[in-house]
A and B are shown apart, each in its own frame.
Chain A
Amino acid sequence: MLKVTNVGKTYGKFTALENINLEVADGEFLAIMGPSGSGKSTLINILGLLDQSYTGEYLLEGKSYKDVNDNELSQIRGDQLGFVFQNFKLLTTYSVYENIEIPLIYSKKEQNKKHELVADVIQKVGLDGKEKNLPSELSGGQQQRVAIARAIVNRPKLIIADEPTGALDSKTSKEIMEIFTKLNKAGTTIIMVTHDSEVADYAMRTVYIRDGRLYNDEKSVKNHD
């Protein structure tokens, strides 16, 4: 699915990421763990083509997007990637249905199929009957389901989730992770940042970040200390 070679990122003098090497296979479910400020979001933003200012090489499906124009980049984000954020990032004045519909507005998919696609994902995340509600009328877990529905409505190959359970209690986190597992079983590659080792257990593999460096298992992080 993707290959990261020697990627680095600095904010002025501050080195946020350094010498990152990572390979994720098709259909994998990867968890990224690490303390606050270690560079998890920074890395995942690069992987999600949200941030293009890095050094080194990043290939998504064998292609580098470092120098493509904004239109192409937007199209890849809309059609091949799906984002889930910690604080849901829903549009508060839009209904559940309208929030989920957003990626379809900008995709080249046939107009008449859109309603079907939205209805399908609403059912998948278990939000039937909530189409017309505003996000403020939903619980945190339900809001995150809306966010997941929005992320998968375009049937992306890769889901990128930055602490999807960060704002949820453990019971709700579990439900969300079950949805993720189901999606992964159906063939979607997932990369997920989390603080919570219980949540990370749903993933096939976990990598660790510390001070901008990536480690393949917890032991090597400890050895490094």
Chain B
Amino acid sequence: MTDKILIALKSIAKNKNRNFLTMLGIIIGIASVICILAIGDGFTHTVTKGMGSHNVKNKVILQWEPTSDYNTDGGFTQNDASALSKVPGVDHVKLTSSVVEAGAKAQYKTKNVSMSLNKQPKHLKLIKGTYFTMTGASNGVYISEDLAHKLFKENAINRLISIDGTVFVVQGIYRVNDMTEYRPDAYVSKTIFKELFANQISKDRAKLYISSDANKKQVGKTAVKRMKKMGEQKNTGRYVVSNPDQISKQFTKIMNDITYFIAFIAGISLLIAGIGVMNVMYITVSERRKEIGIRRAFGATSSDIRNQFLIESVVLCVIGGIIGIIFGYLFVSIINAFLPFKAVITPYAIILSLSVSTAVGLIFGFIPSNKAAKSELVGLLKEE
């Protein structure tokens, strides 16, 4: 077999340019296949790993969702929590919030503006003022350029504004790039945030810690039923069991669309590649009628000839496939810089790519090889 592959490599090397052009389609097709699989595998890997930490076995998460866009403030109250803790199977209940920032009203002179605010982060780039971590009950505030424009005509630094009735001094202004990041309108010190604003954040999420023998689904159902009946904010919102799968489902759909698109490209280029391979094999066969005649006269059976050209076609495609895998690898490294998760090339993807290349070689090489095998011997030997 090795000698037969060597023969194939030799005759492929004889027409490097022609064969390389033929390989291009395969290279593109296989590179696409590698990318699809890498993205798909990387995504599945990330999601399943994420679910492991997110969706701990003994926890059911209940979410309150507002039914109207006007009144979005709401969630679970302490009474709701104690009602939920009485659901059979529930060990204890913790109320949390899906958002971390608080909403407030800012006032400067006669201007009144709604704004969001949060505790200050460790680092923040300012366009005005200097940034430092405020200690204790410091009444400093950092505001966004946007909010500064809404409140002040000119310089905002060191001016006093009132946020929900408490007076703050503007310490600095930061710019928010809407395209790439999200930031609230203002930052206050950690202590102040905790004391004045944190309790305002509505607890729209209830974590039900369940005992190990309880049925998650059942607990979720009962809890939702109970809240529907006696939840204190059942009129402004509805209660659902939050399913981490849901988010990934939507994401999966997008991923699938992308995958289908790339698969489509891969399929088309492999089809075109296959036709190219067929064409080049036809040319090869007709160019080498003399060789076929000689081999036949010296003992080659027609299946020896068919195999020789089939091997050549497969070797051609597999070389293209290997180059395609290399390109796919490079491409995956590039797109990994932009993906929110890491695309991975699995051994399975490589095996599949090589199998696809082989299949293209076999399928599209078959008819030309068969033509070579079936040619009439006397005619072949007249060939020069």
Contacts and interface: CB of A to CB of B under 8 A. Distances in A.
Interface stretch (A30-38, A57-65, A70-78, A115-123): A70-78
B160 interface: no
B14 A103 contact: no
B168 to A, nearest CB: 86
Nearest to A51: B378
Of A71, A77, A154, most buried by chain B (CB within 10 Å of CB) is A77
Given A51-B378, A85-B381, A91-B291, A74 B299 contact: yes
A79 B299 CA distance: 7
Interface in A55-107: 70-71, 74-75, 77-79, 83, 85, 87, 89-91, 93, 102-103, 105-107
Nearest to A87: B384
Contacts of B304: 74, 106
A87 B303 CA distance: 27
27 contacts: A45-B381, A50-B377, A51-B378, A70-B301, A70-B302, A74-B299, A74-B300, A75-B299, A77-B296, A77-B298, A77-B299, A78-B299, A79-B299, A87-B384, A89-B381, A91-B291, A91-B294, A102-B294, A102-B298, A103-B298, A103-B299, A105-B3, A106-B298, A106-B300, A106-B301, A106-B304, A107-B299
Contacts of B297: 48, 50, 77, 83
B295 interface: yes
B290 interface: yes
Interface residues of A, number: 25
Interface string B14-29: 1000000000000000
A107 B304 CA distance: 12
A89 B299 contact: no
Contacts of A48: 297
B321 to A, nearest CB: 25
Contact of B301 (A74, A85, A91): A74
A145 interface: no
A70 B11 CA distance: 26
A150 interface: yes
Interface of A: 45, 48, 50-51, 70-71, 74-75, 77-79, 83, 85, 87, 89-91, 93, 102-103, 105-107, 150, 154
A100 B82 CA distance: 94
5 cross-chain pairs, A with B, having the tightest CB-CB distances, nearest first? A78-B299, A106-B299, A74-B301, A103-B298, A106-B300
A11 B302 CA distance: 24
Given A45-B378, A85-B381, A87-B384, A93 B14 contact: yes
Of B3, B14, B301, most buried by chain A (CB within 10 Å of CB) is B301
Interface residues of B, number: 22
B54 interface: no
Nearest to B308: A105
Majority DSSP secondary structure for residues of B touching A? helix
Interface in B275-321: 290-291, 293-304
Contacts of B303: 71
Nearest to B301: A74
B194 interface: no
A45 B382 CA distance: 11
Contact of A102 (B10, B14, B295, B301): B295
B52 to A, nearest CB: 56
Nearest to B377: A50
Contact of B378 (A50, A85, A102): A50
Contacts of B3: 105
B151 to A, nearest CB: 83
A69 to B, nearest CB: 9
A151 B321 CA distance: 40
Contacts of A103: 298-299
Contact of A50 (B290, B295, B381): B381
Contacts of B295: 102, 106
A187 B302 CA distance: 31
Contacts of A87: 384
Contacts of B299: 74-75, 77-79, 103, 105-107, 154
Given A74-B299, A74-B301, A106-B301, 17 more contacts: A48-B297, A50-B377, A51-B377, A71-B303, A74-B296, A75-B301, A77-B297, A77-B298, A77-B299, A78-B298, A89-B290, A91-B294, A93-B14, A103-B298, A103-B299, A105-B299, A154-B299
